[in-house]
Structure 1
């Protein structure tokens, strides 16, 4: 390799890592609306005078607009550059919190925090995934895992400051100030994003390398006609329910478990400490279990991780009234949950190829919206009707354990048959040519 080519390769490598860093920062900024929502629930419920289930519709709308509109986000992302799409998303996230600070009626909160914030966060998610997929074509799993992990633990930076701000100045002032901060950071970071230079010969080599599992690249329409996609969709919906139930309800069930604002663990308030540990666990689990799945297989990894969450949720029901156990078990719950955003995209790429991976994952991401409805307002409604968290936690734990069994008993053999049939069709088509 000539000195000029070597220098060019080194420059491209440096740029690639800078683009990954920008994508990670954007995802960290975009994570707060989802992961600190629980801190706003008690003061919003008191201010607006509404039931918990009615207020949690906001969270369900957020997830529906963030994930349920994934196919729409994927479609429009192709019409803009990642820079433009992420900047627009950041502006929406910031504006949503600023507008929410002035809300005095619940329907308006649905629009500002639920719809606008959900759409903006979804735009940033899709834009950054597309960006790192382009810059790391042969290491997509690693790059997407790092980005997804950044979204998982991004709120670590803001959880304690936002909690302190709510205590000192009230939730309205907090929404206003942090809305400005998150919006400005997201837009500035987005302005540094750009596509990699096009090298058709290199791209062709990378595409061939990426199809070592799937023998061809499936479009979204082709993928939607396969039974294995719908099995994964159901499994992801079931798993999403548990984590999103804890994210949206942790403030409510902590109060019922006797974990109040004055409850301390290691000299720190128990709830924000739990939320901080949750974010770290939720971020670390995504690249960790992605790495594990490369070595022991996707389905085996799913079984281990999903069982971990199911058992942790069951133990939370039994031991969660102890502040130390409450904090520790919430971390285990998220360490067994957050990896769905690395394992499911990975196995989807194995099955359907990488060429349309972003758009294809947009359809699978709709499962998160389903989980947000089950784990948000419906879980809250079930609690209000039963006056106990026992039934809610038992159902969620059962869904996790059932999904772990499905991964090993149903998904693994179905995936093997799918790839064998795909290879047979590919060989037949090649022979005809």
Structure 2
């Protein structure tokens, strides 16, 4: 498929790419709950299996590790066979993981069904959709990936209260079966209408938007892994993922330790599901907003604003933990400062290493979230179990957020510019790393 997708392109092509973005958002929404609703399942699963929180949180780490560490291979499959078949398969596996978990009677079974199957399924969908959007929207890369990633953040908004209510009235098994079937069906339906993006080089590439710094070379994954720029971005995404995934996976647990649970009311609503609902809204909104901003003022400046702001927000969350209303509101600010990593990093990576191999290349960077899930999941829970306090965990996260924001300005920006300038100056036909 070849088409011009720049500004002023044929209306049919323009309509096609916006339709693909909408379908991508729906598919992402369908596979978001295994990650974002997990915190509601920890308490009933602990009671049913008679296990401890650190042992149970291994499930969450398995989910994220497989979602991310298999993504290079999944990205290669999407590039070879197209998004329709692979994304549909991923949505089906994600829904099936909940249904099978409903019948799990042991911790290893939960690891297998919720962690392994869910991780494989959600990973295929996530990497497939993001990889398509950076190709469909070369002129609005930050915004488009932000919208797709927003679907992943928004998906659980509509399910926080229904799932919380279902757990209380119908129990864990019924909840997992009903919502697993529903999410799987919606995701598969959206996936079956997806189309592959135009091949890089076949479509006319529009001028980069103000603030964007782009390469004209396309790096293979082997070439990309040899650059210090990639490994700096990997370290930065790991640090930001650690904090965000700690808050996601442990939110209900550390909120209860602060005295804020389902019995505490805020504005007439149970505090915990209300906070989770607000968090999903801000976690979704931040992705296209900061993606749009980065298209205008540059990726690294936007990273600095968002990441340092996230550190300040987490400090604020800890400071107001004795006030339920302020705590719920500040939790929304925390998620607004974290979710944007899923628009900023893929757009920055594609700007730096080209779009021909974008899906596979982002698969390697996305592995950083798997590292963050281990640090923010069982390791954070272990630190709490050893110290009896969440304060050491929060302190480490605040420090990493601020450090990552500073690295964006003072390390990533000059390194990325040098790499792009060197690629521009290289004689035609020379290897990308010459």
Q: TM-score, normalised by structure 2?
A: 0.92
Q: Is the 8 A contact 2:199 2:356 kept in 1?
A: no
Is structure 2 residue 422 aligned with structure 1 residue 383?
no
Q: Which residue of 2 aligns with 1:344?
A: 345
Q: Which residue of 2 aligns with 1:203?
A: 202
- Structure 1 ranges of 4+ moved more than 6 A: 207-212
Q: Give the whole-Å Cα distance in 2 for the aligned partners of 1:103 and 1:134.
A: 40
In the TM superposition, what whole-angstrom CA distance separates every residue of 1:380-411 from its partner, at most 9, and x where no partner exists? 00000000011111111111111111111211
TM-fit CA distance, 1:159:
1.1
Aligned pair in 2 of structure 1 residues 328, 423: CA closer, same or farther (>3 Å)?
same
What is the alpha-carbon root mean square deviation over aligned residues?
Answer: 2.1
Q: Is the 8 A contact 1:82 1:130 kept in 2?
A: no
Q: Give the whole-Å Cα distance in 2 for the aligned partners of 1:429 and 1:142.
A: 33
Q: Is the 8 A contact 2:262 2:273 kept in 1?
A: no
TM-fit CA distance, 1:14:
2.8
Equivalent runs, 1:310-349 vs 2, <5 Å: 310-349=311-350
Q: Which residue of 2 aligns with 1:3?
A: none
Larger helix proportion of the pair:
1
In the TM superposition, what whole-angstrom CA distance separates every residue of 1:175-196 from its partner, at most 9, and x where no partner exists? 0110110111111111222236
Identify which range, 223-232 or 80-89, moves more after superposition: 80-89
Equivalent runs, 1:364-403 vs 2, <5 Å: 364-403=365-404
Is structure 2 residue 93 aligned with structure 1 residue 105?
no
In the TM superposition, what whole-angstrom CA distance separates every residue of 1:348-376 from its partner, at most 9, and x where no partner exists? 12211111111111000000000000000
Q: Which runs of 5+ in 2 are unaligned?
A: 1-8
Aligned pair in 2 of structure 1 residues 10, 214: CA closer, same or farther (>3 Å)?
closer
Is structure 2 residue 163 aligned with structure 1 residue 162?
yes
Q: Which runs of 5+ in 1 are unaligned?
A: 1-7
SS of alignment partner, residue 205 of structure 2:
helix
In the TM superposition, what whole-angstrom CA distance separates every residue of 1:319-374 from its partner, at most 9, and x where no partner exists? 12321122112111111111111111122122111111111110000000000000
**What is the number of equivalent residue pairs in this alignment?**
421
TM-fit CA distance, 1:134:
4.4
Q: Give the whole-Å Cα distance in 1 for the aligned partners of 2:123 and 2:101.
A: 18
SS of alignment partner, residue 262 of structure 1:
coil
Q: Give the whole-Å Cα distance in 2 for the aligned partners of 1:404 and 1:135.
A: 29
Q: Is the 8 A contact 1:128 1:147 kept in 2?
A: yes
Q: TM-score, normalised by structure 1?
A: 0.92
TM-fit CA distance, 1:120:
0.4
Q: Is the 8 A contact 2:139 2:207 kept in 1?
A: no
Q: Give the whole-Å Cα distance in 1 for the aligned partners of 2:186 and 2:229.
A: 40
Q: Give the whole-Å Cα distance in 2 for the aligned partners of 1:11 and 1:78.
A: 23
Q: Which residue of 1 aligns with 2:305?
A: 304
TM-fit CA distance, 1:173:
0.9
Aligned pair in 2 of structure 1 residues 315, 212: CA closer, same or farther (>3 Å)?
closer
Q: Is the 8 A contact 1:213 1:419 kept in 2?
A: yes
Q: Which residue of 1 aligns with 2:246?
A: 245
